[in-house]
Structure 1
């Protein structure tokens, strides 16, 4: 059943960019249905498409720096050590799950690469008889389950950074720091419960050793993939192969971070995407040590951010149309939708809708 569903989805589902375009088309149709003119819809689209560019760039850096940190040589050595701990195949699957979700609380981009590489490293241990399919699914739990509860959550980061919030939304919601979202004790409790339940499910659902499908049975060859540092070919490249720029930039960045924490509230500093991205940028640079190795890792990581670069502007333009494309009665589609939900809200309907 699972294989048939996967095959059907791969055959018929388009790229996520197409889904974003379809959602935008649906909102445009809804706005014109309530009386907004095509010109008003087009103006709202064009006025809003670039409103989230600072936040878009910040989220691109979340992806890039996370990938760079996860692909560094010291990180690879850490993964090799961590892969020695599990004693059974089922335990290894649960182990991948907890590592994936724990690292996603720090960075979902690190989690995606780190947990995947951990699953590959565990698969090299033939004595575990680990089901590689289950381990691969467990590696995605950080991105699929807990990432929005961590400090790289795009929703929490957006609301905590006033320079990233569209002015229409900022006027309504204001700034909501981490202390009122992911740092609440209720949020921490929910994250702990979700992680515990997900790890238990990963363990129970993993096939027993007699039914496990290993990489050998799948015909997968596990080769070690490392970003190789090519030899220096010309004198002008010597600084690219020297740690001097790394140490200089690291000292500058560390000085800024120390000043931020010394002069501002720690929660507000951590809530800042600029602080978060600079910390991971410096960490990636230091882990790769030589600028040339760092730049190779960045070039490989940039391709993973293409969806954010293209789709985030569409999401913002969609929100602009919802708010600013007015119909014949002077109301936007957003007004109509919110009024419909409020009018339907009651003590009886709330548990039915929320579940």
Structure 2
């Protein structure tokens, strides 16, 4: 295992391009496949790319807000102090890895944006207190990103009244998907495997330690009396009012039994907590400024992947690929093939909701025709969508920005974890069928 991992690390360091260049390469691949496989002309493919470029602006804004609100919450003093206190509990590299994995995994389960930032901040805290190979620590913090928890977009979309496939499949509650007994068991099993995998890794001879570059939320110091604009900006009143307003809305929804856990309510929950836990609007906005910096990769690259999605959809590539998988599926193999199919397409369209909008109707129609369980199909698709995020640098960009590393530094470890986790998830669907 050690030799395989070291080989993977060397190959990735040597050949993996930056996340932006990778997005351009994937665009070129789909462009060529559209011409050669789907019999589309070059200008037609260019038109599909341009039409798709703006299709996911709304969903892209939701993703940025998930990251921003999660980041800002992780930067509150109470959360940072809790993470620093956890870091002080580790005295050895293995303890640092174990604590980082468990905490970041739990945070990812609650919200991927919060988990990504909390994991990166905890990794930095661990790297400051323990002599550990920092890329290995950051890879361990990112390994839990594949977990599918309350902020997983696909099960939440299907559980939301009025979703675009309601007429075909109805409402599928999260009790049958995210909170089914088998899915909870799989989640716990993956955590155990993740801890075991990274604890088995030996520290390299040339350890890369954390380069201290602490992100500081600046607080303006006033000499003399503040004017009203300065006073109100550094007063707790605006953030307290807005935070309580958002919290009141959420509480009222829960009391009236009209609360639905979806992307918008997750953003609102983390917004309320961030506002209430930051000391004033200046502190909140300074943290938001750092969050926007961390989200720059998503902001720049999300439209590129929307363009890829436009080409894949309009040229019929998603349909061609999905039908090729479906043509060999049986009722017993369909969940497994759905998982693999979603994982492959996810590498080109790294957006759960966006991918579901394109590929979901095809897979659900096939599930209906085969008599496959809709809830199981949805979760197979959901796990596939998260699985290949381990080798798709797109979603690692916020964590890498906070940690101060590049995708090349961590992807070698994650390639091996992709294989281990894939066997575990695929094995689960085989057992269930």
Same fold (TM over 0.5): yes
Closer, same or farther: CA 289–320 of 1 in aligned 2, 3 Å? same
Q: What does 1:20-99 align with in structure 2 at a 5 Å threshold?
A: 20-33=23-36, 34-86=38-90, 88-99=92-103
Match of residue 253 from structure 1: 246
Q: Work out whether residues 232 and 241 of structure 1, in 8 Å CA contact, stay in contact via their aligned partners in 2.
A: no
Closer, same or farther: CA 179–140 of 1 in aligned 2, 3 Å? farther
Match of residue 328 from structure 1: none
Match of residue 338 from structure 1: 322
Closer, same or farther: CA 47–218 of 1 in aligned 2, 3 Å? closer
- Alignment partner of 1:288 out of 278, 284, 289: 278
CA positional deviation for 1:284:
1.4
Q: Aligned equivalents of 1:171 and 1:322: distance in 2? A: 25
Closer, same or farther: CA 204–12 of 1 in aligned 2, 3 Å? closer
CA positional deviation for 1:88:
4.5
Which range moves more in the overlay, 61-70 or 343-352? 343-352
Match of residue 100 from structure 1: 104
**Quick check: which has more Rg, 1 or 2?**
1
Superposition RMSD in Å: 3.5
Q: Aligned equivalents of 2:49 and 2:128: distance in 1? A: 51
SS in 2 for 1:103: helix
Q: What does 1:122-271 align with in structure 2 at a 5 Å threshold?
A: 122-125=126-129, 130-133=130-133, 136-157=135-156, 178-205=174-201, 222=212, 225-232=215-222, 235=227, 236-266=229-259, 269-270=260-261
Match of residue 401 from structure 2: none
Which range moves more in the overlay, 76-85 or 235-244? 76-85
Closer, same or farther: CA 28–290 of 1 in aligned 2, 3 Å? same
> For each residue in 1:174-198, what CA deviation from the matched residue of structure 2 results, as whole angstroms up to 9, or x when unmatched?
7655444322222211110010122
Match of residue 370 from structure 2: none
Q: Aligned equivalents of 2:31 and 2:172: distance in 1? A: 30
Q: Aligned equivalents of 2:331 and 2:273: distance in 1? A: 50
Match of residue 113 from structure 1: 117
Match of residue 382 from structure 2: none
Closer, same or farther: CA 158–258 of 1 in aligned 2, 3 Å? same
> For each residue in 1:249-300, what CA deviation from the matched residue of structure 2 results, as whole angstroms up to 9, or x when unmatched?
012111211222233454xx12x11110111112112222210011111111
Match of residue 306 from structure 1: 296
> For each residue in 1:74-131, what CA deviation from the matched residue of structure 2 results, as whole angstroms up to 9, or x when unmatched?
2222123223434544233212221121111112333233233334434555xxxx44
Q: Work out whether residues 93 and 206 of structure 1, in 8 Å CA contact, stay in contact via their aligned partners in 2.
A: no
CA positional deviation for 1:335:
3.4
CA positional deviation for 1:228:
2.4
SS in 2 for 1:149: coil
Structure 2 stretches of 5 or more lacking a match?
341-425, 428-433
Which range moves more in the overlay, 230-239 or 296-305? 230-239
Closer, same or farther: CA 14–200 of 1 in aligned 2, 3 Å? closer
CA positional deviation for 1:39:
4.3
Structure 1 stretches of 5 or more lacking a match?
326-331
Match of residue 319 from structure 1: 309
CA positional deviation for 1:147:
4.1
> For each residue in 1:295-319, what CA deviation from the matched residue of structure 2 results, as whole angstroms up to 9, or x when unmatched?
1111111022122223323333333
